[in-house]
Amino acid sequence: MGTTTTTTSLDAGGEDRVMAAAQQIVKSLNTAKEVREDMLLIFSSFDNRLSNITNLIKKDSDSTGVRFDAAEKVILRWDSSSSNPDTSRHSLPCEDSPHEAAEYLSAVDEILKLVVDVSIRSDNEIMDRAEAAVQLAMSRLEDEFRLIMIRNTVPLDAEGLYGSIRRVSLSFAANEGEIDEEFESFGEVDSVRGCFHDRGASLGDDLCVDLINADAVVELKEIADRMIRSGYEKECVQTYSNIRRDALDEYLVILGVEKLSIEEAQKIEWKALDEKMKKWIQAIKITVRVLLSGEKRLCDQIFNGFDSIKEICFSETAKGCVMQLLNFGEAVAIGKRSSEKLFRILDMYDVLADALLDLEMMITDEFLCSEAKGVLSGLGEAAKGTFVEFENAVKSEASKKPMQNGEIHPLTRYVMNYVKLLVDYSKTLNLLLESDEDEEDDGLQSEDSELETTTPFAKRLLLLISSLESNLEEKSKLYEDGALHCIFLMNNILYIVQKVKDSELGKLLGDNWVRKRRGQVRQYATSYLRACWMKTLYCLKDEGIGGSSNNASKVTLKERFKNFNACFEEIYRIQTGWKVPDPQLREELRISISEKVIPAYRSFMGRFGSQLESGRNSGKYIKYTPEDLENYLLDLFEGSPLILHHMRRKIS
């Protein structure tokens, strides 16, 4: 009994294995349905254990057909729905009902799975139907893919982005004269206005925005997966790239970046161009750090698992946007050079240099990266060339109209405020000027061999300021009055020293440089006293008066006092109109004058004044007390010409 049971069990197991092997053989032959049935009859005649295989295969075939019919029906139903004039063209399954969307995608999955089945592939009729169903489904999914992307694209919140940016403004020439386009106009500058250079803004490292609603990304990935598996990756990539490329174009418009050809950009006047350059700088930051990084992240999410496709998608999406920005950068790089453009060009260079690092990490398109590097190089050359032109302009500026009151020349204000701002770009300028480091090095060795730093930018700054000083020396020769010549140089050199000392320029040029210039200011102060007050002090000398203080010639004394009064009044009339803007220098000059003049006048009056005070009309000659003179000296160098209206002193 036990033996019979065991034998029956073995027979059943053997029968299952034989039938499975027979099924596999038939399927692997990939023959038509009729041929398969004939082969199964032949197999069953060899072994009675295969007598049921025909029914099993038929049952399996019928099950496959039922599944195919059900999936095909779902796909055709939606195609019929979309072609119904009473149904909206946009009534697609994924958009309207998650349940219906899942049903539709399952139907697509079912057909894709069945298509690879050998038994189906050998059935031409079913294969034709399957291919037609897949084609319909892909067309439908492509439309759905497009619609979901369009409907779920997140508008760019430019205000929010700019609000998250840290503003960094640098004061430029506040209350010290505006930058003029041409150096020749400096002589005509007669008003002062504040202006500034805005370096732009910095983006935080963690700034991140969703470009498509997060819920829609999952649906898009579901569709993309099926399109790619069906062999429709080209259509998927094209649809994705077109829509996202259009979105990026719209984002650039929102950021204020226009589509301009290189020729159009070069025709824009400076003020309008300056605004476009500022917007370009911000757009580069936002585009690379926010938009393109967001696009990269979006591609990674939707095309996860398809590395080559997501690279193509991102490259095709980003190319137009990046090239539009690069075209403007190239237009600026090859445009006309003028000194006021340098800061913007340097800003553009810096922001593109930073962006290039991110671009190279995101973009595998060698052409695009090469174009970006080319524009960066062009901006660097433009910055160098503009700086050289500025240097040449400082050397060659030859306005012949002297400042009437000896005040600071507009050229001095312009240059020093310009270079003070340039210090903020030291790192960039050192990099750009490094190749020219040996140029004119010999000129540094003569006067400033103690230069405390050897950076290329520091050397060029020293040469530039030296050129300015030489130019000012030439302009001082326009003054016929030797004293005003000294006042002019004092004012300008002190202004240069203060701009250097009170900024990062001091670190570049060093303390020795500052001390030398302060020494020059003191030398010019001494020269001023000699040129202006020697004649006045000569009137208070004892020589030529004759006799002692008791019997000096009254005629000579009267002449001396009269000459002193005339000299002092003339100096007062002229030098109250001269301008020494720095209050400390102004006060030091007054003290120096007072120390020279007041003691000499007091001593002269003490020795000889009594001989005239007893006579008639003494007030005509002894018009001022030492205290009067001290008070009048306080009016000097204020820039407002005054005249002494003397009331004769009453003799008690």
Judge whether residue 130 has pLDDT over 90: no
Three-state DSSP class for residue 199 = strand
Question: Of 20-34, 282-296, 614-628, which has the strongest mean pLDDT?
Answer: 282-296
Its sign, for the CA torsion 277, 280, 285, 286, is positive
Judge whether residue 8 has pLDDT over 50: no
- CA dihedral 344→350→351→356, nearest 10 degrees, is 140
Instruction: Identify the weakest region by mean pLDDT among 21-35, 240-254, 306-320, 348-362.
Output: 21-35
The string of pLDDT tens digits covering residues 423-451 is: 999 999 999 998 766 555 544 454 455 45
CA 42 – CA 4 distance, rounded (Å): 30
Judge whether residue 587 has pLDDT over 60: yes
Buried-state track 506-540, b at ≥16 Cβ within 10 A, e below 16: bebbbeebbeebeebbeebbebbbebbbeebbebb
Confidence band (pLDDT; 50, 70, 90) for 157?
confident
- Report the candidate in 569, 589, 579, 573 with the shortest Cα–Cα distance to residue 639: 579
Kindly tell me the burial class for residue 442, based on how many C-beta atoms sit within 10 Å of its own C-beta (0-12, 13-18, 19 or more).
Answer: exposed
Judge whether residue 17 has pLDDT over 70: no
Judge whether residue 317 has pLDDT over 90: yes
- pLDDT averaged over every residue in the chain: 81
- The angle that helices 124-152 and 214-229 make with each other, rounded to 10 degrees, is 150
Instruction: Identify the weakest region by mean pLDDT among 355-359, 446-450, 632-636.
Output: 446-450
CA 44 – CA 237 distance, rounded (Å): 52
Report pLDDT for 519.
96
Judge whether residue 547 has pLDDT over 80: no
- Report the candidate in 163, 254, 169 with the shortest Cα–Cα distance to residue 204: 163
Report pLDDT for 307.
93
The string of pLDDT tens digits covering residues 473-493 is: 999 999 999 999 999 999 999
Report pLDDT for 651.
38
Q: Tokens standing for 31? A: 């023959």
- Report the candidate in 61, 66, 56, 40 with the shortest Cα–Cα distance to residue 118: 61
CA 293 – CA 314 distance, rounded (Å): 10
What would the DSSP string read from start to end of 595-630? HHHHHHHHHHHHHHHHHHHTSTTGGGT----HHHHH
> What are the CA-CA distances from residue 536 to residues 541, 565, 570, 596 (Å)?
10, 9, 10, 10
The string of pLDDT tens digits covering residues 603-626 is: 999 888 888 876 666 778 889 999
Tokens 């030492």 label which residue?
A: 626
**H-type alpha helices, 435-510:** 442-447, 456-476, 482-501, 505-509
CA 645 – CA 46 distance, rounded (Å): 145
Judge whether residue 113 has pLDDT over 70: yes
Report pLDDT for 18.
58
| Average pLDDT of the segment spanning 551-571 | 88
Q: Tokens standing for 362? A: 């995101």
CA 596 – CA 593 distance, rounded (Å): 5
The string of pLDDT tens digits covering residues 448-472 is: 554 545 789 999 999 999 999 999 9
Which residues pair with residue 638 across a beta bridge? Answer: 579
> What are the CA-CA distances from residue 569 to residues 226, 463, 620 (Å)?
100, 43, 14
> pTM value?
0.78
Judge whether residue 181 has pLDDT over 90: no
Report pLDDT for 282.
93
CA 341 – CA 336 distance, rounded (Å): 9
Question: Between 59 and 538, where is the model more confident?
Answer: 538
How many CB atoms lie under 10 A from the CB of residue 361?
10
Contact criterion met (CB below 8 Å) for 457 and 426: yes
Contact criterion met (CB below 8 Å) for 407 and 476: no
DSSP 212: B
Report pLDDT for 123.
64
Phi, psi (degrees; rounded to nearest 5) at 169:
-110, 140
> What are the CA-CA distances from residue 228 to residues 79, 141, 212 (Å)?
21, 11, 21
Q: How far is CA 147 from the centre of its chain?
A: 36
Confidence band (pLDDT; 50, 70, 90) for 187?
very low
Report pLDDT for 583.
96
CA 366 – CA 261 distance, rounded (Å): 23
Instruction: Identify the weakest region by mean pLDDT among 132-141, 199-208, 474-483, 578-587.
Output: 199-208
| Average pLDDT of the segment spanning 399-421 | 92
